Amino acid sequence: MRQSRIAACVSSLLLCAACALTGTGAAQAAPQTAATGYVALGDSYSSGVGAGNYFATSRECLRSPRAYPALWAASHPRSSFDFTACNGARTSDVMDHQLGPLSSRTGLVSLTVGGSDSGFGHVMTTCVLRGTNACVSAVAEARTYMDGTLPHDLDRLYSVIRRKAPAAHVVVLGYPHLYKVHGTCAGGISDTSRSALNSAVDHLNTVTAKRAADHGYTFADVRAAFREHEICSPSPWVRSVSLLAPVESYHPTSLGQSRGYLPVFTRTA
């Protein structure tokens, strides 16, 4: 009788152990949904301004199926794809209007942001209309903003992204040089202005890369991909100033998206 009780106890212990190992007991954890969704955030360089063929539903955001996020999503099926990047978006705009799709199911996030915060639209207008001295001065003001205010704004945005999408791999993409200095352009702004603008892009990328790294995010540098394809190069992938479509000025063309941004993003996604 005693041996029967011992055998029964041993059998019960073995059954409990088996349930724990196989997850068939009452305490079995609920299965988790895989984090496979992709959310594309950011400004005009991510929405695809300059690439054309904009979605009718995107209105002032000017999202294009030729933008690198849409191109990548078309060839890399995911559980979901949300394209919220918008023309002219600053860090505060991304935070206030673009983060809705982020969740624990988000596995990948991409974004470009910081150019609009730093006033590149104003800088470009100044450089085109007011000459070299005013251009260099406007660039210096933008650099001051990049050093003073932008890092804090990026930190706030990056922290919220991580909180809303804790499992996501986040890729922060940079900006290309706008000009090939001493290039093929017969007119336009001076080479001094062009160099100053490229230097501002370098500075913005440096600030953005540092903040991204401190948050554990991947920074994807596109400058090498655009080399020899800047404005004033024989085959530019960046639009010069356009009177017919001014909003597209100084943005990547469809080739800039497909041959510049897309390969760099694909290597880091």
**Which residues belong to the active site?**
44, 251
75 contacts 8 by C-beta, under 8 angstroms: no
Q: Which two tokens stand for residue 215?
A: 């948050």
Distance CA 38, CA 142 (A): 32
DSSP state of 59: G
Provide the sign of the torsion angle of the four alpha carbons 68, 70, 71, 72, taken in this order.
positive
39: β partners: 82, 109
Token couple for 77: 């099926």
Q: What is the DSSP letter of 31?
A: P
What DSSP designation does 246 have?
A: G
Residues 102 and 156: their CA atoms lie apart, in Å, by 16
Burial of 243 (0-12, 13-18, 19+ CB in 10 A): exposed
Q: Can you say whether the dihedral through the CA atoms of 43, 73, 51, 252 is positive or negative?
A: positive
> Minimal CA–CA distance to 265: which of 57, 88, 93, 42?
42
